[in-house]
Structure 1
């Protein structure tokens, strides 16, 4: 085969993969020889705010998911960014994805079971049972990390009394929380990033308890365990571990909690990560493709969304108001907007996409103030979508 015909065949194959969305995370590199642009040192903050709003509105309105082709792992990542506003198409109409699962709606990967008797009774004096989310690691359809589903729901402003329908029975968010506390000994990976996010949303940060195996636990103990895992370890370059520590520390500080050694160690780890994120930032505003380990950049825009997006999410949670308003962070947000614009219509992997969107939501809220996001639930279900179907085993 001649080199010309071979090149032509390869081009057809690559274009087919991108246009049909068969690749969950395609390479979105610029043409050979095209250099990554350098971000401007002067940033018009009003224009940045409007740009953030535009990319977030586009992502909410145009990246449509449904319960037939997509699974909980994808859908609930969208809810992380947009909370109860995030829609999913079910039986030909759009509904709130969060409300759908709370009402007992079916969704592949939302795999639950009745849990253990809880050590408290309900308002009616009846014994309560926990609600357990089953772990389905590596599927990219179900809960991939211990307590991931509760961690996401906890960031959707749900009260402990919020009801969850499952298998003909009514549970509450408090029942879900109670089961997580009882199940700590079942966390064989000793990965507590999502556990910290979930528990500190509903419990005082000094809480201690005994699980179903008789082992003593406390929130400060979970904090120390996460610090002890070491710097840069864990999912997505260690950003999830840092996000869990940051959210826990923010809530501890809001409760005027004492800075005992565990919390001091957490703050030290967070500050170290902030220093490295700034030190390793690229000239174009992108944050390191190697996260906090060393400098690095990638011409693959899909990878850039994952690395810069996760790191911006962490920074938007952990920086003080003064630090968050510094130009280097604005340059990262500006770069993230540009990558979102360049990948409009491309099939992106949901974890990276919606963590990046969440980072922009958090940055926008803290720097410019909160904003309401809206989706017209009567929108045409046949409208365009650019989310690849779930990767099923």
Structure 2
């Protein structure tokens, strides 16, 4: 594993998809990691978060759910280290929150998520399509949502729909990738809801930092410009 991580550090580039590098490197190296690539250029984990923020779109793989999952895992790891969200990490959280609400708003009445992911509301009667889109979206949500939202009706409805869909279509041939993401989402949900909470929502291998020593810039509230007094209107004739 160490060799794979070291190779990923050396091979990271600005013009390539960063999703899998971000997920893997933040897990093994932590949110404050600094390293050099094969050309001697210095990289910070913040750089990968910035790149993922900048490239996330509806055109991303699987509607952006892979990128969002990686961002959520990275954000969780950052927060697990005791740091307050700021800079690119805060931007990542804002994107995560935006897509959580988009998934909820575009959810279909049966509990499935939109076939067009976060672009527009749509439904599919095809099991393979439902498995792919609802599975990917649920997987992202299970990494992104806080504990106090797991019991919300729309979340439970999606979990129930997906689980029953898989059972009811157990004899149907499906794409293994779609099945993997769907099962992973259900497993994370099960583990988060279990009494011992065994789900790993970001790495916890890195010591928490003393917040008193964290350099956080406090912005002063903007002062609105003074409104000039308007001249009195002449009395009506």
Residue 217 (structure 1) aligns with: 43
Q: 1:244 aligns with which of 51, 70, 94?
A: 70
TM-score of the superposition, structure 2-length normalised? 0.80
Residue 15 (structure 1) aligns with: none
Residue 158 (structure 2) aligns with: 332
CA distance in 2, matches of 1:306, 1:268: 25
- Are 2:125 and 1:299 equivalent residues in the alignment? yes
Cα offset, 1:215, TM superposition: 1.9
CA distance in 2, matches of 1:178, 1:255: 22
Q: 2:10 aligns with which of 172, 175, 182?
A: 182
Equivalent residues of 1:364, 1:370 under 8 A apart: no
More strand by share: 1
- Are 2:195 and 1:195 equivalent residues in the alignment? no
Equivalent residues of 1:231, 1:269 under 8 A apart: no
Cα offset, 1:217, TM superposition: 1.3
Q: Pick which of 353-362 and 196-205 moved more.
A: 196-205
Equivalent residues of 1:305, 1:353 under 8 A apart: yes
CA-atom RMSD in angstroms? 1.6
CA distance in 2, matches of 1:334, 1:209: 44
Q: 1:257 aligns with which of 68, 83, 90?
A: 83
Equivalent residues of 2:56, 2:64 under 8 A apart: no
Aligned ranges for residues 87-166 of structure 1 at < 5 Å? none
Equivalent residues of 1:278, 1:328 under 8 A apart: yes
Equivalent residues of 1:211, 1:217 under 8 A apart: yes
Residue 367 (structure 1) aligns with: 193
Q: Equivalent residue of 2:120, what SS?
A: coil
Residue 30 (structure 2) aligns with: 204
Q: Equivalent residue of 1:358, what SS?
A: helix
CA distance in 2, matches of 1:369, 1:310: 25
Q: CA, structure 1 residues 369+289, in 2 after alignment: closer, same or farther (shift >3 Å)?
A: farther
List per-residue Cα deviations over 1:29-88 (Å, max 9, x = no partner).
xxxxxxxxxxxxxxxxxxxxxxxxxxxxxxxxxxxxxxxxxxxxxxxxxxxxxxxxxxxx
CA distance in 2, matches of 1:191, 1:337: 31
Equivalent residues of 1:231, 1:238 under 8 A apart: yes
Bigger relative contact order (CA 8 A; separation at least 6): 1
* Unpaired runs of at least 5, structure 1: 1-172, 373-393
CA distance in 2, matches of 1:258, 1:184: 26
Cα offset, 1:279, TM superposition: 0.3
Aligned ranges for residues 78-93 of structure 1 at < 5 Å? none
Q: Equivalent residue of 2:57, what SS?
A: coil
- Are 2:100 and 1:286 equivalent residues in the alignment? no
List per-residue Cα deviations over 1:220-239 (Å, max 9, x = no partner).
11001111114323211100
Q: Equivalent residue of 2:73, what SS?
A: helix
Q: 2:147 aligns with which of 306, 311, 321?
A: 321
Equivalent residues of 1:325, 1:367 under 8 A apart: no
CA distance in 2, matches of 1:261, 1:184: 21
Cα offset, 1:342, TM superposition: 2.0
TM-score of the superposition, structure 1-length normalised? 0.49
Equivalent residues of 1:316, 1:363 under 8 A apart: yes
Equivalent residues of 2:191, 2:197 under 8 A apart: yes
More helix by share: 2
CA distance in 2, matches of 1:361, 1:230: 25
Q: Equivalent residue of 2:32, what SS?
A: coil
Cα offset, 1:371, TM superposition: 9.0
Cα offset, 1:216, TM superposition: 2.0
